[in-house]
């Protein structure tokens, strides 16, 4: 009788979710979109119970075009003009579709990490004259509570070691770099300036350090 090889994976093992320090892969499915067909991969974050998503198109092993995007229900789903989140997400998916490969890592950290309820409270304060940073701080939160380390681990799981990162946010570049993902290029994401978002965009540039030279 032969001795089982402990290093050999059975067909059942191949379907078992793969764990990382922060996240665990759960499931995937093909998602056809107007920008092309993506595979949606879902990851569970152990410490928070949040379900994060990677929208993957084509071969992304090694170097890939990537957007790390934080959930914004008001902008992504309902098309709010208070922010530029929805257009940024659509830009990223369009660019990936044109290239035929890439990843959108969609992190479930609404309202820069304060959640939807507090985001709506912050909107009320903004309507009373505060900017987006002042409103968050007035509610007792830091200006930005998001954690991008989770994105680095998801990219590692996907086999992405270097990225062309579609972002204006230097924190995303710094965090990915610190956690083993080489940022070979930062791809600017230009936003349309209009009356409803002009102050918001200006605050992101002046107080959060986002690279938005076109506002000058």
Beta-sheet pairing, 36-45 with 51-57 = antiparallel
Share of the chain above pLDDT 90, in %: 77
Buried b / exposed e across 152-162, counting CB within 10 Å, b at 16+?
A: bbbbbbbebeb
As a whole number of angstroms, the distance between CA 216 and CA 214 comes to: 5
Please state the pTM of the whole predicted model: 0.87
Structural domain tally of the chain? 1
As a whole number of angstroms, the distance between CA 183 and CA 137 comes to: 31
Q: Which of 50, 144, 171, 199 is catalytic?
A: 144
Q: Which of 7, 127, 146, 174 is catalytic?
A: 146
pLDDT single digits (tens) 180-192: 999 999 999 998 8
Q: Is residue 201 in a domain?
A: yes
Average of per-residue pLDDT across 54-68: 97
Q: Considering the chain, what is the average pLDDT of its residues? A: 89
Q: Is residue 3 in a domain?
A: no
Q: Torsion angle, CA of 122/126/128/134, rounded to 10 degrees?
A: 80
pLDDT single digits (tens) 138-175: 999 999 999 999 999 999 999 999 999 999 999 999 99
Segments forming the whole domain that contains residue 203: 23-109+146-211
The CATH number for 55's domain is 3.40.50.10990
Q: Is 146 a catalytic residue?
A: yes
Q: Is residue 170 in a domain?
A: yes
Q: Is residue 84 in a domain?
A: yes
Cα distances (Å, whole numbers) of residue 60 to 10, 91, 125, 162: 26, 18, 42, 10
Confidence class for position 206, pLDDT limits 50, 70, 90: confident
Beta bridge pairs of residue 54: 41, 105
Q: Is residue 139 in a domain?
A: no
Q: Is 82 a catalytic residue?
A: no
């Amino acid at each position: 009788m032969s001795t089982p090889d402990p290093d050999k994976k059975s067909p059942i093992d191949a379907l078992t979710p793969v764990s990382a320090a922060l996240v665990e892969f759960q499931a995937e499915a093909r998602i056809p979109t107007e920008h092309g067909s993506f595979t949606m991969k879902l990851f569970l974050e152990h410490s928070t119970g949040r379900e994060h998503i990677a929208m993957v198109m084509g071969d992304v092993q090694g170097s890939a075009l990537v957007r790390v995007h934080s959930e914004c229900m008001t902008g992504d789903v309902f098309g709010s003009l208070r922010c530029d989140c929805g257009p940024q997400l659509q830009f990223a998916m369009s660019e990936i579709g044109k290239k035929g490969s890439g990843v959108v890592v969609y992190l479930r950290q609404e309202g820069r990490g304060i959640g939807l309820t507090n985001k709506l409270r912050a909107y009320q304060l903004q309507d009373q004259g505060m900017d987006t940073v002042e409103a968050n701080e007035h509610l007792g939160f830091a200006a930005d509570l998001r954690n991008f380390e989770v994105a680095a681990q998801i990219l590692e799981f996907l086999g992405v070691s270097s990225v062309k990162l579609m972002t204006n946010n230097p924190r995303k570049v710094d965090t990915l770099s610190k956690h083993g993902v080489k940022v070979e290029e930062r791809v600017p994401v230009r936003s349309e300036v209009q009356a409803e978002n002009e102050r918001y965009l200006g605050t992101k540039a002046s107080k959060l350090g986002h690279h938005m030279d076109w506002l000058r």
